[in-house]
Amino acid sequence: MADLSLSSKIVLNNGVKMPVLGLGVYQVTNGEARTVVKEALDIGYRHIDTAAYYHNERGVGQAIKESGVPRDDVFITTKLWHTDNGYREALAACDRSLKALGVDHVDLYLIHWPRGDRQGAWKAMDRILDEGKARSAGVSNFLPRHLDDIMSASSLVPSVDQVEFSPFLYQKELLSYCRDKGIALEAYSPLTKGRRLNDPRLVALAREYGRTPAQMLLRWVVQKGMAAIPKSVRPERMRENAAIFDFEISAKDEAEMDRFDEGYHTTWDPQDIP
C-alpha cells in the first residue's frame, strides 16, 4: 500500500485505468470550475468528477483545454441525471454532456441515481460505449438490488459504483458485493462534507500520525483499494488532500476507524429507492 501515489490508478473491469484520487466539483459554478480545475491539474490531479446536474461541465472542459495538459492524460467522469434515465433520453443526455465539456468522449459515464428507467439507461450505456462516447460505464448510488436489476437487463457489468463512503458510513456489504462482481467502488463525500472532521477520535488519531483529519479519511479510503474524489476549491486543501501517499495507517488504527461507522449520510440514502 505504501507505494501508492497521486498517479496510482485502479484498473477497471474493462482494462481502463482510473486515477485513485480525483477532484470533485459539486457545488462549483462554471466560472469557478474554470479556475479550480486548472489549479488541480497544476497540482497534479488527473481525474475530475463532474455531472450534468452540477451545471459546470462547460467550465470543467474549458479548464482542461486551457491547462495545457493533454486531454488523454485527464480522466473525466460525468453523470446522467435521473430525469434522463431511459434509453433515448440517456443517449441525448450523453451528447449534451459531451458538447458542454467540449470533448468527443468521457472516460467514465455514470447513471447518477437508480431512480426511474434505470434498465433503459443501462442499455443505452452499451451503445454509448460502442460509439466511443465513453471509455467505461458505471453507476452511482446503486445498492446490490439496483445493480442486480440492471445486470438482469444487459450483459454489461458496471465498471464503477460511486457511492457515499467514509469511516462514518462504512458500507462493508456493498464493498464486498462489488468486489465479487468486479465493480470498483469510488467514494464520494469522503470528507463527510467537512462535518465529521472535528470528531475527537479522528482528531486524536490524526495527531498521532502528524496528519490532518482530512488526510486520515482519504488515506483510509485508498488503503481499502477504493478511489476517492474529495472536493475543494482551495489549492492549499487540494494539496493537503493529495498528500496521502507517503504514509500508511496501521491495521490496528484502520480497524479503529472502521468502528467510526454510524451509517452517516450527508446525501440522500438510496435505501429509499425501490
Ligand X SMILES: NC(=O)c1ccc[n+]([C@@H]2O[C@H](COP(=O)([O-])OP(=O)(O)OC[C@H]3O[C@@H](n4cnc5c(N)ncnc54)[C@H](OP(=O)(O)O)[C@@H]3O)[C@@H](O)[C@H]2O)c1
If one asks whether residue 229 binds ligand X (CB under 6 A), the answer comes out as yes
Task: For residue 240, state whether it binds ligand X (rule: CB under 6 A).
Answer: yes
- Bridge partners, 140 (sequence order): 162
Active-site hit among 26, 45, 53, 54: 54
Residue 24 binds ligand X (CB under 6 A): yes
Minimum distance, C-beta of residue 211 to ligand X, in the bound complex (Å)? 11
Is 209 noted as a catalytic residue in this protein?
A: no
Residues 129-168 that bind ligand X (CB under 6 A): 140-141, 162
* Grid cell digits, residue 78: 460525468
User: What phi and psi, each to the nearest 5 degrees, are found at residue 69?
Assistant: -80, 130
- Tell which phi-psi region holds residue 102, choosing left (phi > 0), alpha (psi between -120 and 50) or beta: left
For CA atoms 51, 57, 60, 64, give the dihedral sign. positive
Query: Rule CB under 6 A: is residue 35 a binding residue for ligand X?
Result: no
The span from the CA of 59 to the CA of 257, in Å, is 36
Q: Does 197 bind ligand X (CB under 6 A)?
A: yes
Q: How far is the CB of 66 from ligand X (least distance, A)?
A: 20
The footprint of ligand X on this chain (CB under 6 A) covers a number of residues equal to 27
Residue 171 found at the interface with ligand X (CB under 6 A): no
- The residues near 164 (Cβ < 8 Å, ≥ 6 apart) are 141, 187, 188, 189, 265, 266, 267
Is residue 271 near ligand X by the rule CB under 6 A?
Answer: no
Closest CB to ligand X among 159 and 232?
232
* Residues between 70 and 109 that touch ligand X (CB under 6 A): none
Closest approach of ligand X to the CB of residue 59, in Å: 13
